[in-house]
């Protein structure tokens, strides 16, 4: 079985930033895009408009991916309604930055729970149905810092490095069922997550990017759309860096 004409796509953290651009990039006539958000319903509404204007069907719900019960209920309801999940994009993510010696356990736990455990919860449920379908495309959003490291982000970096290991382990488990599992590692992308940086920090960051510019959410979304397309049918277990050359 290959790509379905009526695709069912699930994107976590679709209300803003990279997730919103991914929702738009995966939208097409015949595609239903389910996406969730944590608290920002207004932003979710705007994402839904983008999906609908690209010809897709948009359905959004408040779901905290850190909660196993919430994820099981959410994906269970999607399966009841749509009958299948073709593409899962684990994009929801948060930061709670601080130096290791000052990092609170709560900040460690919050980041690991959303970024890494949330990805695990969603993959676990989606994989069961993808195995029955003998088709599935899972794309996990990691980060360049999950490979390079970054001071002040021990929790975030550990979660993003964990996503890479998780991606590779599950890619090996599911490959024989025609399910691919890949990670995308964005560099420095212009979203709310990076919006707090002052001009000096931004300039310093751009100085580390060989292409000399900050990335856009659409730069990431295009690669996610490719990994979800038939053109990427033979790619699994890979980490695709989309960072203007920040990491080579
Ligand atoms: P963002 O603008 O802060 O958006 C984060 C998204 O995740 C929002 O839709 C948010 O929902 C959702 N979210 C947060 N916590 C959640 C939870 N517990 N359950 C469900 N959804 C939750 O972030 P972004 O920059 O687009 O980042 C998207 C992904 O790319 C993240 O995994 C991030 O780590 C990764 N990334 C970003 C960059 C970058 O430079 N921006 C670089 C590398 C990797 P609400 O709107 O409801 O809060």
187-219: pLDDT as tens digits: 999 999 999 888 898 999 999 999 999 999 999
| 71 domain-assigned | yes
131-150: pLDDT as tens digits: 999 999 999 999 999 999 99
Angstrom CA distances, 184 to 89, 202, 236, stand at: 10, 22, 12
Ligand 1 centroid to Cα of residue 81, in Å, is 26
| 209 domain-assigned | yes
What is the pLDDT, as a whole number, of residue 201?
87
Pocket test for ligand 1, best of 23, 38, 75 (most atoms within 8 A of CB): 38
| 2 domain-assigned | no
Pocket test for ligand 1, best of 10, 12, 13 (most atoms within 8 A of CB): 13
Q: Quick one: which atom of ligand 1 is closest to the CA of 39?
A: 47
| 248 domain-assigned | no
d(CA 133, CA 245): 37
Number of domains the chain contains: 1
Ligand 1 centroid to Cα of residue 1, in Å, is 32
pLDDT at 160 over 50: yes
**What is the residue range of 219's domain?**
8-242
| 3 domain-assigned | no
Among this protein's residues, is 60 annotated catalytic?
Answer: no
Which residue's C-alpha comes closest to atom 18 of ligand 1?
64
CATH of the domain at 185: 3.40.50.720
What is the pLDDT, as a whole number, of residue 196?
86
| 247 domain-assigned | no
37-82: pLDDT as tens digits: 999 999 999 999 999 999 999 999 999 999 999 999 999 999 999 9
What is the pLDDT, as a whole number, of residue 115?
98
Closest CA to 19 of 55, 52, 50: 50
d(CA 237, CA 230): 16
Ligand 1 centroid to Cα of residue 95, in Å, is 9
Closest CA to 7 of 103, 137, 128: 137
| 1 domain-assigned | no
Whether ligand 1 lies within 6 angstroms of the CB of 22 is answered as: no
Q: Quick one: which atom of ligand 1 is closest to the CA of 145?
A: 43
Q: Could you tell me which residues come within 8 angstroms of residue 16 by beta carbon, excluding any fewer than 6 positions away?
A: 37, 40, 43, 47, 191, 192
Q: What's the whole-number average pLDDT of the chain?
A: 96
Residue 1 pLDDT grade (very low, low, confident, very high; cuts 50, 70, 90):
very low
What is the pLDDT, as a whole number, of residue 3?
58
| 237 domain-assigned | yes
Whether ligand 1 lies within 6 angstroms of the CB of 135 is answered as: no
Q: Could you tell me which residues come within 8 angstroms of residue 142 by beta carbon, excluding any fewer than 6 positions away?
A: 160, 161, 163, 164, 167, 183, 184, 185, 239
């Amino acid at each position: 079985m290959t790509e379905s004409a009526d695709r069912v796509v699930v994107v976590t953290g679709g209300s803003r930033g990279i997730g919103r651009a991914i929702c738009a990039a995966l939208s097409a006539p015949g595609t239903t895009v389910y996406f969730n958000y944590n608290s920002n319903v207004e932003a979710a509404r705007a994402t839904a408009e983008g999906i609908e204007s690209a010809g897709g069907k948009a359905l959004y719900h408040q779901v905290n991916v850190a909660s196993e019960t919430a994820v099981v209920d959410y994906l269970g309801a999607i399966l009841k309604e749509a009958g299948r999940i073709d593409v899962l994009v684990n994009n929801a993510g948060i930061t709670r930055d601080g130096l290791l010696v000052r990092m609170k356990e709560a900040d460690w736990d919050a980041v690991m729970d959303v970024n890494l455990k949330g990805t695990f919860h969603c993959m676990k449920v989606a994989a069961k149905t993808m195995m029955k379908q003998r088709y599935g495309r899972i794309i996990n959003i990691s980060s360049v810092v999950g490979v390079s490291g970054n001071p002040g982000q021990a929790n975030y970096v550990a979660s993003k490095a964990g996503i890479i290991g998780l991606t590779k382990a599950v890619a090996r488990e599911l490959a024989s069922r025609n399910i691919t599992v890949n990670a995308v590692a964005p560099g420095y992308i212009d979203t709310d997550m990076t919006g707090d940086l002052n001009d000096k920090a931004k300039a310093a960051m751009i100085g580390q990017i060989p292409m000399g510019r900050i990335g856009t959410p659409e730069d990431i979304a295009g690669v996610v759309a490719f990994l979800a397309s038939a053109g990427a049918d033979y790619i699994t277990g890979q980490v695709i860096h989309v960072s203007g050359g920040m990491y080579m």
